[in-house]
Chains A and B, each alone.
Chain A
Amino acid sequence: MPVLVIAEHEAGELKSATLNTVTAAKAMGDEVHVLVAGKGCSGVADAAKAVDGVAKVLVAEDDALENQLAETFAPLIVKLASDYSHVVVPATTFGKNVLPRAAALLDVQQISDVMAVESPDTFVRPIYAGNALATVQSSDSVKLITVRTTAFPAAGSGGNAAVETVDGAGASAEGAEFVGRELSRSERPELTSARVIVSGGRGMGSGENFSILEALADKLGAAVGASRAAVDAGFVPNDYQVGQTGKVVAPELYIAVGISGAIQHLAGMKDSKVIVAINKDEEAPIFQIADYGLVGDLFKIVPELTDAIGK
């Protein structure tokens, strides 16, 4: 049986997390289908059919699916699941919200945050903030899985899948009503797919001071992230948070500025290829995992670094 990937999309664009999820799905079965559900998403379907390794794209359109509520998505997933060996979503806030609801309706124990596929029924997933890895085997007839996207490369393009319309109508929102979304608008790359990330912690002292990180980030074409402490202090919005319960990232280069390195933060970034730490406290735990550490005053070092990179 084929594997079904639920596409994540926003404002008519396929989100890149879907591409990593397709790669994970290929390791679970021979044939990968992608479900694009929403309203007015023909552009997303076009993008999905061009993804390498996708055999078929299912499109379900309905007013009730427009805002991607778990209440209306779950019944659609349930309806399709019997034709599939696995149903897979990225472990983003979208996937985490939707899939467990469908799993319960199917009487399936979902497997969260899969980072390796050992066999079609056996998977590796992090527990305890990634301080341990559990290898688990599922006995459910259909496997419902969220994928840690940083653990799988993005699928390429060059595919030409068939597109099929499926009936998306009829799901009740069960008392849930979408009111609105306030999305952070940024010219910078998305945190979860950025090649370079510059992240700030409590040591930044204020939200205004993040401007020096933004200047560095713009020089590097980087995304800007933050530790929980910086978000809790109100320096930056919640969508900046990297960590166990925020975003998990694995860029080529992660520059941690004024971040001490709590295990909850390390859980979200320790798979980065190269880690740089800038901190005035030479005992800060972040230095234990950093490839390059620089002890000193971040307010002096960061602007210097921005200048030096431009040269």
Chain B
Amino acid sequence: MKVLVAVKRVIDYNVKVRVKSDKTGVETANVKMSMNPFDEIAVEEAVRLKEAGKADEIVAVSMGVTQCQETLRTAFAMGADRGIHVLTDAELQPLAVAKLLKAIIDEEKPDLVILGKQAIDDDSNQTGQMLAGLLGWPQGTFASKLDVGDGSLQVTREIDGGLETEKLTMPAIITTDLRLNEPRYASLPNIMKAKRKPIDQKAPEDYGVDIAPRLKTLKVTEPPKREGGVKVGSVDELVEKLRNEAGVI
């Protein structure tokens, strides 16, 4: 079984992002970048399938600037076998990413595609579902448990009311939620090995996909600041303030 994972390079989740003063976006110069945390979970799940003898090859795909190769190397160090990098400086919106992934999948023909449920930069939560729609494949979004069998899989999904289980015929799309697994730290030997794994560099034009953004960002602003309040000294004082000052109890 071949598994394809999609990995996105984003501002590290620990960084406090700053809006640029010209309101065109957020500050990315000299900011630590990492693999999107949900995509790490996707890679980890693929590697576990390989370790369990259920998958025999893991292909990682990333799209964007040259440094996305670092993100692919991170996936390799975790256990992915090879990479495809669609090199572009252009802004890629989820629909364009889904179309490019579809074109790659038409060539690679994986049995299972695992993506993060959302990227922590644009917080769109769209690409996996869009890709499933374009391919006409079943989708198991927000997965917290995955049980891959022969030709089908069972997926447990985190939904607002609790958990939902679906059975999907493969090929299928899975998007990861936080509880699916805990991604490993790459070992030093594996980081060294990752340097020798192959990356196939492509361009959006190679796939004949129109990547022009459909959404125009008019401005990016800071949200209204929430001012901190006061510290109270006792439970009685807290209750008094909630009752008489805030009027919420």
Chain A residues in the interface with B (C-beta under 8 A): 10, 69-71, 74, 92-94, 96-105, 107-113, 122, 126-140, 173-184, 192, 196, 220, 228, 231-232, 237-239, 244-245, 247, 252-253, 263-264, 270, 273-276, 282, 287-295, 301, 304-305, 308-309
> Any chain A CB within 8 A of the CB of B185?
no
- A contact residues around B131 at 8 Å (CB): 104
Do A134 and B220 touch across chains, with their CB atoms under 8 A apart? yes
Do A290 and B126 touch across chains, with their CB atoms under 8 A apart? no
- B contact residues around A129 at 8 Å (CB): 120, 123
Q: For the complex, give the distance between the alpha carbons of A69 and B219 in Å.
A: 35
The count of residues in chain B whose C-beta lies closer than 8 Å to any C-beta of chain A is 82
Do A110 and B126 touch across chains, with their CB atoms under 8 A apart? yes
Contacts A104-B98, A244-B120, A294-B232 known; A128 to B11 CB distance under 8 Å? yes
Do B163 and A97 touch across chains, with their CB atoms under 8 A apart? no
Do A101 and B130 touch across chains, with their CB atoms under 8 A apart? yes
Contacts A96-B125, A97-B142, A180-B165 known; A132 to B231 CB distance under 8 Å? no
* B interface: dominant SS: mixed
B200 to chain A, nearest CB (A): 25
**8 nearest A-B residue pairs (beta carbon):** A175-B169, A109-B214, A104-B130, A291-B229, A100-B129, A176-B138, A104-B133, A101-B133
Do A294 and B235 touch across chains, with their CB atoms under 8 A apart? yes
Q: For the complex, give the distance between the alpha carbons of A192 and B159 in Å.
A: 13
> Any chain A CB within 8 A of the CB of B208?
no
Do A112 and B126 touch across chains, with their CB atoms under 8 A apart? yes
Within 8 A of A (CB), among B138-172: 138-142, 144, 154, 157-170, 172
Task: Bits for B1-44, please: 1 = Cβ < 8 Å to A, else 0.
Answer: 00000000001010011010000001000000000001000000
* A interface: dominant SS: mixed
- B contact residues around A178 at 8 Å (CB): 164, 166
Do A109 and B95 touch across chains, with their CB atoms under 8 A apart? yes
Q: Could you give 15 example pairs across A and B, Cβ below 8 Å?
A: A93-B159, A98-B129, A122-B218, A132-B19, A136-B217, A174-B136, A176-B140, A181-B159, A184-B162, A228-B178, A270-B226, A294-B231, A294-B234, A294-B238, A295-B231
> Any chain A CB within 8 A of the CB of B241?
yes
- Find the residue from B158, B160, B246 having the highest chain A CB count within 10 A: B160
- A contact residues around B129 at 8 Å (CB): 70, 96-101, 104
> Any chain A CB within 8 A of the CB of B236?
yes
